Amino acid sequence: MLDIAQPLLPHGPFWGPFFFGAAIFGFRYLAFAGLAFAAWYGRAVVPAGKLQGGMPGLPQLAREIAWSVAAVLIFGLVNALISGYGVTPHTQLYFDVAQRGWGWFWLSIPLMILVHDAYFYWTHRLMHTRLLFRAFHAVHHLSRSPTPFTAYSFHPLESLVQALGVVLIIFVMPSHPLALIVFQTVSTAINVYGHLGYEIYPRGFSRHWLGRWINTSVAHNLHHATARHNYGFYFLFWDRLMGTLAPEYDARYAAARG
């Protein structure tokens, strides 16, 4: 979850990387969540297709945005610690595209998604254990019926776990900062979609040969409704492999799409 720019490296001051990272994360969050909320929730009558009945009240929205502000600040903090204290040279960050070529630049983005998907699944399952749920993940599940603003609504401890996912990426694979920005923009968009409260994929998608492997808003909404099953982020690979996909998922998807 780091947005790192060449001028701030390798030993830039703390506040520069902090404000840069927080600003990028905050802007992306407000842009995606704000536009999605305006499109799907900006009306007095609940539109057909909402996965859970009723519209969110102001207390829920205020809570989600407040926790999200804290998350953005923590993401900025992690950015500052990596960028401002000499950690960067020990990572696999590189800044000249020619060093690895454009082929690797574009290939690295889906690879980042695959690495992050595995990291998210296993840390998410871990945070659902009795030992860790209350301290790390309970705040996120206060939104039983999620909204786009739920996307960053984390306890600070969970925000740190989320930030460390991208720290892992820059240590395990060559990563260009612009590729990271593209990856994280895609990640934010998918995160907001997962919490949208509406399904946008077509009828029959959950049973399609390709769609059955892709996470959906129905799948993640079901996770919020029950606090069980469906731990994936981008895909359902791990859920299907580990037997953690909700048994009623296909039926719920079919009902949502009519």
Tens-digit pLDDT profile for residues 100-139: 999 999 999 999 999 999 999 999 999 999 999 999 999 9
User: φ, ψ for residue 159 (rounded to 5)?
Assistant: -60, -40
Note the pLDDT of residue 23: 96
Note the pLDDT of residue 6: 43
Residue at 47 is within a domain: no
For tokens 């009828």, the residue is 203
Neighbours of 237 (CB within 10 A): 16
Note the pLDDT of residue 226: 95
Q: Are residues 179 and 231 in the same domain?
A: no
Note the pLDDT of residue 44: 60
Note the pLDDT of residue 53: 79
Q: Of 183, 198, 213, which marks where a domain is finished? A: 198
Please compute the mean of the pLDDT values over residues 177-189 and round it to a whole number: 97
Q: Of 198, 227, 244, which marks where a domain is finished? A: 198
Q: Of 198, 217, 241, which marks where a domain is finished? A: 198
Q: Are residues 91 and 16 in the same domain?
A: yes
Residue at 46 is within a domain: no
Whether the CB-CB separation of 128 and 245 falls below 8 Å is answered with: no
Tens-digit pLDDT profile for residues 145-158: 999 999 999 999 99
Whether the CB-CB separation of 134 and 184 falls below 8 Å is answered with: no
Q: Are residues 181 and 205 in the same domain?
A: no
Residues 6+ away with beta carbon under 8 Å from 169: 112, 115, 116, 175, 180
Whether the CB-CB separation of 203 and 90 falls below 8 Å is answered with: no
**Residues of the domain holding 161:** 1-41+56-198
Token readout for 87 is 């950690």
Tens-digit pLDDT profile for residues 55-92: 899 999 999 999 999 999 999 999 999 988 889 999 99
**162: confidence class by pLDDT, cuts 50, 70, 90:** very high
Please give the Cα distance from 255 to 249 (Å, whole number): 10
Task: Fill in the DSSP letter of residue 54.
Answer: S
Note the pLDDT of residue 83: 86
Give the largest CA-CA distance in the chain: 55
Tens-digit pLDDT profile for residues 2-49: 554 444 444 457 888 899 999 999 999 999 999 999 999 987 666 678
Q: Give 154-191 as a 3 state SS string.
A: CCHHHHHHHHHHHHHHHHHCCECHHHHHHHHHHHHHHH
Please compute the mean of the pLDDT values over residues 202-229 and round it to a whole number: 97
Chain-centre distance for alpha carbon 73: 16
Q: Are residues 90 and 150 in the same domain?
A: yes
Q: Are residues 95 and 205 in the same domain?
A: no
Residue at 49 is within a domain: no
Total number of domains constituting the chain: 2
Q: Are residues 155 and 35 in the same domain?
A: yes
Residue at 156 is within a domain: yes
CA angle 240, 64, 84 (to 5 degrees): 85
Residue at 134 is within a domain: yes
Residue at 168 is within a domain: yes
Residue at 64 is within a domain: yes
Q: Are residues 223 and 133 in the same domain?
A: no
Q: Are residues 125 and 237 in the same domain?
A: no
Residues 6+ away with beta carbon under 8 Å from 71: 25, 152, 153, 154, 156, 159, 162
Average model confidence (pLDDT) across the chain? 93
Residue at 204 is within a domain: yes
Please compute the mean of the pLDDT values over residues 208-224 and round it to a whole number: 98
Q: Are residues 117 and 232 in the same domain?
A: no
Please compute the mean of the pLDDT values over residues 242-253 and round it to a whole number: 97
